[in-house]
Structure 1
Amino acid sequence: MQKIVVLGSSNVDTTLHVENFPKPGETINAQKVTEASGGKGANQAVAAAKSGSETHFISRVGDDALGTWMLDQLTGYGVLTDRVLKTEGVKTGHAYITLNSEGQNDIIIDHGANYELTPKDVEGAKAVIEDADCVIAQLETPIAATIAAFKIAKAAGKTTILNPAPAIKDLPKELLNLTDVITPNETESALLTGITISGDADLEKNAVKLHELGLKYVIITYGSKGAYVSSPVFTGLVPAFKVKAVDTTAAGDTFLGFLAGGLASDLGNLHDATVFACRASSLAVQKLGAQPSIPDRAAVEAALKEG
C-alpha cells in the first residue's frame, strides 16, 4: 500500500447549476443549488485514499460548523485527518461554483483558513512526511508551507508532486528545485512557460521549457484529449477515455490522487500510472460534485479491463 501525504486546501463547495453561464450584467435563475466537501487539497486526498493508499492530509479549516463537517466528510472517505488543524476566529474555506449543462464550470474561492497554513504546521507533521512514499501539494495554500513540506520530503528521499493550480506565473525557483513531478493543465503550463498551447505541438514546446526550469518529470493534463507526459521513462500523449462529461469539477484532482496512488517509488511506471489516473478521471466527470464523484480503486480497475 502506498503512503501518501497531501498538503493543501479544504473548502466547502456551493454549486449553482445553470443551463448557460451568465453574461456580464445578466441575472439568471439557478436550476438547483448543491453543497459538497471540496478544495483541491481535500479532493486530492480523497482521491489518493480511494486509490487504495494510506493518505494523510495537512490542512486548516475554520473553528466553525463547516470545519467540523469537512473533517467528518474527509474521515468518511478514509482520509487520516490528525494533521488537519482548526483555526480560531477564521472561517472554513468556501468555493462558489457555477456549473453549466455541458459540465463546464467557473469557480470563485474564499480561501478562509486555508491561508493560515504555516511551515510550523508542516514541521509538526515531519514524521508523517518522512514515512510517506510521496507528497502532493497545490497552490491554494501558502507556498512557504509547501516548500517546508517538500524540503522534509526530499531530505527523506521521498517523491514530490506539485500541481501548480491555481496558476501562478513566477513560481519560486526553490519550489521548482524541490519538485520531482509537475502536473499543470494546459492553461497553467502556458502561464509558467509563456508558450500558449493551441495544438499538440505546443505541448512538447511547453514540456521542453519546463525541463529547462529544472523539472525532470512533466505531465500536462489536456482536458478531453488526455495527458502529455515528458520524462526519462516515457514521452508522449496518453489519450483520454471518451465519456460524456456531466461535471468536470474534480477531474484534475482525481487524476492527481490516482497518479500518486499508482506510481512506483522510482517513477519507472509513469506511463501506466498516467493511464490509471486518466481512467479514474474519466469516471469522476460522469457524476456530479467533487469528492462524491471520485471513484474507488475497484471501479477504476474494472473500467480499465472494459477498455
Structure 2
Amino acid sequence: MTNQVIVLGSINVDTTYRVEHFPQPGETISANDKQIAPGGKGANQAVAAARSGAHTAFIGAVGNDDDGRAMLKQLQKNYIDTQHVIIDNDHATGSALVTVEESGQNDILVYGGANQALTTTMVGSVDELLEQADFLVAQFETPQEVTVDLFRQAKAHGVITILNPAPAHSLDPALFSYTDLIIPNETEAEKLTGITVTDHSSMQATATWFRQHGIPNMMITLGKHGVFYSLFDQSGTVPAFRVKAVDTTAAGDTFVGALVAELKPDVTNIAQAITYAQQASSLAVQKHGAMPSIPYRSMIEAINS
C-alpha cells in the first residue's frame, strides 16, 4: 500500500560553497567549488518521500519570481502535488547559503522569504487533502502558528502528525497537544528539553520529558551513532550505516522523508522503517548537494540485494 504524505514546509534555492575549512571570524577564504541547487527542509523531505514511493502533496509558499517557478517545476518533476503551494507576490522565494568543509560537515544560513510569510489564511482549508492522508510532516522553517493549525486539522481527520523541530528553537506550547511523533537530533532535543543527550539513559529521559509534555512518541537522530526511538510502546537504537560522508546537508531531511514513505500507518514496522530511512540517509551523504543527493527507492533497496 502506498502511503499518502503531506509535507508542510520550506522551499529554498541553495547556494553551496565547498571549502577546506570553515572561516573564522574576520577570515576570508577561497571556495573550491560553487553549486546552486533546489532545497529547503520541507522540499527535501517531500522529495525524499516521493522518491521512496509515497504519494506526496506539499503545502508552502514561493515568491512570484524565477526561483519560485523553478522550484515548483522541480517539485512537480518529482511527482509532488503542488496545488497547495502559494505564490507570494510580496516576498521572494526562500534561499540558503551552505558552506561545506572537506570533512562533509556544513554551516547553513537561511533567508525565509515566502516561507516565513505563510499564514493560516493563505493556506485555507485542506480538508479534502487531509481526508486521504496517512501522515502530515512539518519543520521549523515555516511559521509555527500555521503548523499548529494544520496539525489540529490533521488530528480531526485521524492523520499522524510528525514534527521535525529543525532548525532548533523553542516550541509553540500548542504543538505539544497535536504532535504524535517528534524527530529532533541531539542538539534540537537539548534545545527543547534542556537534557544533554550523551547516552541511553539521557535519551530515555528525553523521551519521558516529551511524553510528560504531551508528545507520546520520539526519535532522536544521532548522526553516525544511528537513531534512538521510543514510540508506540517500543524503544531501541538502530545503528547507522558506516560510509564516507562528503556532504551531510540533506541527511536529516532524507531520513524523515524516507521514513514516512516506509512506515506503515499502523506503525507495525518501526525498526524496519528506521533501517530503510537510515539506508536512504547513508546514500545521501555520499553525494554533494541537498535535493540532488536524495536517493530513489530502487537505489536504497539495491543496498540489500
Taking structure 2 as the reference length, what is the TM-score of the superposition?
Answer: 0.97
Is the contact between residue 22 and residue 28 of structure 1 (CA under 8 Å) also seen in structure 2? yes
TM superposition shift of 1:131? 1.4
Counterpart position of 2:228:
228
Cα distance in 2 for partners of 1:247, 1:94 equals 18
Query: 2:161: which partner in 1?
Result: 160
- In structure 1, the partner of 2:38 is 37
Worse-superposed segment, 154-163 or 77-86: 77-86
Matches within 5 A, 1:208-247: 208-247=208-247
Q: What amino acid sits opposite 2:26 in the alignment?
A: G
Match of 1:103 in 2: 104
Identity percentage of aligned residues = 49
Aligned to 2:133: 132
User: 1 CA distance for matches of 2:121 and 2:6?
Assistant: 16
**d(CA) in 1 for partners of 2:229, 2:274:** 8
C-alpha contact (below 8 Å) 1:51/1:296 kept by paired residues: yes
Q: CA RMSD in A?
A: 1.2
Q: CA separation in 1, counterparts of 2:121 and 2:273?
A: 33
- Deviates further, 153-162 or 72-81: 72-81
Q: Which residue of 2 aligns with 1:68?
A: 69
Q: What is the match of residue 58 of structure 2? A: 57
1:140-172 per-residue CA deviation (whole Å, 9 max, x = no partner) reads: 001111111111110011111000111123x12
Aligned residues: 304
Structure 1 counterpart of 2:17, which letter? Answer: L
Secondary structure at 1:81's aligned position in 2? strand
Residue 205 of structure 1 deviates from its aligned partner by 2.0
**2 CA distance for matches of 1:233 and 1:291?**
34
Aligned equivalents of 1:129, 1:288: Cα separation in 2:
34
**CA apart distance, 1:174:** 1.6
Which position in structure 1 is the counterpart of 2:197? 197
CA distance in 2, matches of 1:223, 1:200: 15
2:137 maps to a residue whose letter is I
Q: Which amino acid aligns with 1:265?
A: P
Distance apart, 1:218 and its partner CA: 0.5
Given that 2:37 and 2:290 are in contact with CA atoms closer than 8 Å, whether structure 1 keeps it comes out as yes
**Structure 1 contact 123–148 (Cα < 8 Å) conserved:** no
Asked if 2 retains the 8 angstrom alpha-carbon contact of 1:228 and 1:236, the reply is yes
2:279 paired residue number: 279
Structure-1 residue corresponding to 2:88: 87
Alpha-carbon distance between aligned partners in 1 of 2:30 and 2:225, rounded to the nearest angstrom: 32
Structure 1 residue 212, shift from structure 2 partner: 1.6
Aligned partner of 1:266 in structure 2 is 266
1:122/1:149 contact within 8 Å kept: no
Structure 1 residue 30: Cα displacement: 0.5
CA distance, structure 1, for counterparts of residue 207 and residue 160 of structure 2: 20
Paired letter, 2:186: E
| Mapped contact 1:233–1:268 kept (Cα < 8 A) | no
Deviation at 1:232, TM superposition (A): 2.9
CA-CA distance at 1:7 after TM superposition: 0.3
CA distance in 1, matches of 2:17, 2:184: 26
Shift of 1:199: 3.3
3-state SS of the aligned residue for 2:174? helix
Shift of 1:51: 1.0
Q: Cα distance, 1:120 vs. partner?
A: 2.2
Cα distance in 2 between the residues matched to 1:48 and 1:274 = 13
* Partner residue, 1:177: 177
Q: Which residue of 1 aligns with 2:16?
A: 15
Q: Which runs of 4+ in 1 moved over 6 A?
A: none
TM-score by length of 1: 0.96
Partner SS for 2:121: helix
Separation (CA, whole Å) in 1 of partners of 2:64 and 2:228: 41
Partner of 2:254: 254
Distance, in Å, in 2 between the alignment partners of 1:33 and 1:16 is 5
Deviation, structure 1 residue 89: 2.6
What CA distance in whole angstroms lies between the structure 2 residues aligned with 1:185 and 1:27?
31
1:119 CA displacement: 1.2
| Deviation of the 1:201 alpha carbon | 3.3
Distance, in Å, in 2 between the alignment partners of 1:24 and 1:133 is 46
The gaps in structure 2 that reach 5 residues or longer are: none
How big is the shift at 1:23?
A: 0.9
